[in-house]
Amino acid sequence: MSMKKEWLKRCSAIWLIFACWLMHLPALQSQELPKPGPKDTCPVCGMFVAKYPEWIGTVLYKDGHAHHFDGAKDLFKYLFDLQKWAPDHQAGEIDRIAVTEYYSLARIDARSAYYVIGSDVLGPMGHELIPLESQADAEEFLKDHQGVAILKFDQVEKGLLLNLDVGVFE
């Protein structure tokens, strides 16, 4: 066999392998976030989550199981007391946590979001942590909607969630 034919054969094999890899790339990436169905309820408050698409929060586990929430506040309550709300799951099994961004209505990574508290915008369960994608958006929202503070994921504390339920913002 000539060198040219050998080279073409090897290139074809490499391209075939690359094409197969590209076709399977979505399967190699993290699972898509599932949308809540009409019967999915928030494990914290029991509300039907799909009725409030602009507030959905989701915890997706590595095994594909998902819990959906009617707002970031209940999502955080769930995370702070996982043994109460999901006794069959462990924090280490969580693949992704997402919240619905206020302006774009896209589900974004909850750990990188900015949360405004104490604003005049209420969620399905009253006072809510309002998720925003950027600090600039959070600052604008805070000013436009009389918010009290901007928090990052790690700054949200259990006591704050209880205060939100009664309308106290510290």
Q: Where are the domains of the chain?
A: 49-166
C-alpha 112/C-alpha 116 separation (Å) is 13
Nearest CA among 154, 143, 114, 144 for reference residue 130: 114
Give the whole-angstrom CA distance, residue 115 versus residue 118.
Answer: 10
- Residue 168 confidence (pLDDT): 76
H-type alpha helices, 63-129 = 72-80, 82-85
Task: Give the C-alpha separation, 88 to 111, whole Å.
Answer: 23
Angstrom CA distances, 111 to 11, 22, 151, 159, stand at: 43, 29, 11, 19
Check residue 22 and give its pLDDT: 43
Q: Which strands, in side-by-side order, build the sheet including 57-61? A: 66-69, 57-61, 94-100, 107-109
What's residue 32's pLDDT?
Answer: 81
- The Cβ-side half-sphere exposure at 162, using a 13 Å CA radius, reads 4
Q: Note the pLDDT of residue 97.
A: 97
Cα-based distances in Å from 29 to 21, 23, 91: 12, 12, 21
Q: Mean pLDDT for each 10-residue chunk of the chain (170 residues)? A: 56 45 40 88 96 96 95 96 92 95 96 97 95 98 96 95 82
- Dig out the tokens for 130 from the structure: 């309002």
